[in-house]
A and B are shown apart, each in its own frame.
Chain A
């Protein structure tokens, strides 16, 4: 079954404690991206990757890092989380940037206290 898998689904943590949200896809997709969803703001892209070792900033990259060492994995790293990063996060993948729609994971709800 084609899917995008995120872990964890829920996390409550404290300010400044580094965390990583993993994302893995089994469709051999080249393009992967991270979005955050906030009430009244919709989904905003954080980072994206067009292929292995190729990553770039989206609309709201501050406070986040990503890496793309393998095609299937695209982890989101919060080196020093802050309360304004409390949000619902979605990972997505597609065959390439021009091939929509993107397949979305089920989301990770982060609460930073």
Chain B
């Protein structure tokens, strides 16, 4: 079956630090990959996505590249801000696999940015 593994944290960084949150996946077909962000007290919002190998998704200074050879989709940002403090979820969608699921999520990484 499909699965997503990501570092759980909490990850604590200082403002303007470089961020990497690792995400690896297992899928039976050819998945699309996503990063969602959850701010305190809110639902999930799509941050970025990539639908095929070597695609790079980007939004709000965050980037992630779909690496089929390493089955990874690591999230990066060059200079984080306090407002980036949130929980980040890596997820995949594998419609081609014939399974019933919509999205398969990782467990989430709690990111804390200190001023």
Chain A residues within 8 Å of B, Cβ to Cβ? 4, 31, 33, 35, 40-45, 48, 56-59, 90, 92, 94, 97-98, 100-102, 104-107
Contact = CB atoms under 8 A, between A and B. Distances in A.
B101 A59 contact: yes
Contact of A101 (B41, B49, B100): B49
Contact of A92 (B34, B89, B102): B102
A58 B100 contact: yes
Interface residues on B, range: 20 to 34
B101 A42 contact: no
The binding surface of chain A is classed by DSSP as strand
Contacts, number: 60
Given A42-B108, A98-B95, A105 B43 contact: yes
B43 A106 contact: yes
B89 A42 contact: yes
A80 B59 CA distance: 43
